[in-house]
A and B are shown apart, each in its own frame.
Chain A
């Protein structure tokens, strides 16, 4: 969320400077207004919806991740086929004490990502997944 905030600020400020120099013709004001509305939607409404739609669950057999508002996506991978478990924290995430856990299987079609976990929770999840994965042999290659 903060990442996109940076982009929106850049866009708005850039537009503002343009308005200042061109004497603010009507179309530029309109474009700027649209950008502002989009920014508000993107920053305040969208993350909430994403947050509400993002679910995950780890059972003894499988990892399950659900995400997306307009396009819903569910991903399921059996734990016996998990190859690597990574956790990742960007600079902003560190500041907010959050982490993203990525679970990769042997398939080329993309990993499962669990975003916006609390740091302690993420560490615990990684430990648990690693333990289970180590206990189950084979990775289906």
Chain B
């Protein structure tokens, strides 16, 4: 097949995003400082940047070629240094698409073709920036839909989950809002510093300080709390809607496909045969309100850094925070099981485990109080800080007990199910055939109480899932049944 070029429109579309931010900064500078202080250099630099971006992009478009042969995907690119990369077609594990506002306005899409190797190297990835949405769709179908993909009889095709505005209810119960507030605040100060504005001395800030000085402490604390809560709630709801709007989980030709986003569209494909299981995550508050989140355990979906050095978020997402009922359905249909394996009754761990978990969290929780206590004895800090930090100890005990309560493991048909943690509580269902080894640990003290930690290693997800502090005989039995024959020769029956 002949070489193809990227979409021509990309020359004009790609620089738009950086340009908008440049223009934004310039506008802010002008607004704050006033026209008279703007010299010759600022507009000149902006102009040069703009022209430079267009030239660079035109050159990028001109020099980039790609083609798909019978066996390989090839990409030819380079401005000064010519680069040639090829990927064997049968090693392609993922074809992901993303598009920002401008890409969408012009019907373009950025396509990332990856092999999903566990050792994440950028060399294992081809990025086409950008092609038309139609071409992207064609590439996806061409690369992922291979002839002879065996279709499992029980597999459900078509739409598996669809966004419902009701899901937004669960948005305020996550960290999203707090993170957003922190980022916004940080960004504001950063901006203020760039344009030489002393934010602390501006009118609004001064009024705020005066208000804090004049109102009683209790009222001001309460007011701050309310304001922060309202802010985070509003922001998290907004962000949730922006991120996950029009969320769709579908299955076609033996591959799962996740699409979502209001402004930036994202599309992630996961081949069924790469799927090794699913995780249900329930952050404490979300769990209390009956929500859950589902992630895939699949080969080649490990978190990796993208071009901007940011962590690629949520490549394994199958369902954002949503009602538990939806999570259940998604898990069942994704894993092609009658009912969600993550919902089976799991065997409890012995009570001795609770002692260890409470003891370990209390020990950690006591560290700040003890440290501050020592500092107080030395007369470096006032006593009340150490006393206040004592609150952490019962909280730690509570957390430890909660962790114990959520421990569990079991087998359900073809799946090994493990549950652990409180913040969030995670329940993973792994295909038994996906387990590629065991790691068994027992400390001296665990041995005395008959406890054991059994880790199933797997070539997907986080690589290892551990049944922590389980009863010795029980856990080994489960491991032995999960993967018949592997552990057997090394076990002595009693």
Contacts and interface: CB of A to CB of B under 8 A. Distances in A.
Contacts of A108: 118, 302, 459, 462-464
* A-B pairs, 5 with minimum CB distance: A108-B463, A109-B464, A106-B459, A77-B437, A107-B457
Given A71-B441, A78-B437, A81-B436, A107 B486 contact: no
Contacts of A105: 436-437, 457, 459
Contacts of B299: 106, 141
Interface in A101-123: 105-110
B443 A71 contact: yes
A76 B436 contact: no
Interface string A57-70: 10101101000001
A73 interface: yes
Contacts of A106: 118, 299, 436, 459
Contacts of A72: 441-443, 447
Residue of B434, B457, B486 most packed against chain A (CB within 10 A):
B457
A51 interface: no
B490 A74 contact: yes
A75 interface: yes
A140 interface: yes
Contacts of B462: 108
A29 to B, nearest CB: 25
B205 to A, nearest CB: 48
A71 B457 contact: no
For the side of the interface on B, what is the size category?
A: 20 to 34
A75 B438 CA distance: 6
Interface string A111-141: 0000000000000000000000000000111
Interface in B432-472: 434, 436-444, 447, 455, 457-459, 462-464
B441 A107 contact: no
7 contacts: A74-B490, A77-B437, A78-B436, A105-B436, A107-B437, A109-B439, A110-B457
B347 to A, nearest CB: 21
A107 B443 contact: no
A141 B459 contact: yes
Interface in A26-72: 57, 59, 61-62, 64, 70-72
A74 B437 CA distance: 11
Contacts of A107: 118, 436-437, 457-459, 463-464
B487 interface: yes
A72 B439 CA distance: 10
Given A105-B436, A106-B459, A62 B442 contact: no
Contact of B459 (A64, A78, A140): A140
A81 B299 CA distance: 14
Given A71-B443, A77-B437, A109 B463 contact: yes
Given A73-B439, A77-B457, A105-B437, 6 more contacts: A70-B443, A71-B442, A81-B459, A105-B459, A109-B455, A141-B459
Contacts of A78: 436-437, 486
B34 interface: no
B302 A73 contact: no
Contacts of B487: 76
Contacts of A109: 439, 455, 457, 463-464
B165 interface: no
B442 A110 contact: no
B118 A140 contact: no
A75 B463 CA distance: 14
Residue of B459, B462, B485 most packed against chain A (CB within 10 A):
B459
Given A108-B118, A108-B302, A74 B459 contact: no
Contacts of B486: 61-62, 76, 78
Nearest to A107: B457
Contacts of B441: 71-74
Contacts of B437: 75-78, 81, 105, 107
B472 to A, nearest CB: 12
B271 to A, nearest CB: 12
A73 B440 contact: yes
Contacts of B118: 106-108, 141
B200 to A, nearest CB: 47
B39 interface: no
Nearest to B119: A108
A71 B444 CA distance: 6
A109 B459 CA distance: 9
Nearest to A60: B489
A140 to B, nearest CB: 5
Contacts of B464: 107-110
A62 B117 CA distance: 24
Interface in B416-438: 434, 436-438
B69 to A, nearest CB: 23
Contacts of A74: 438-441, 490
Contacts of B434: 140
Contacts of A62: 486, 489
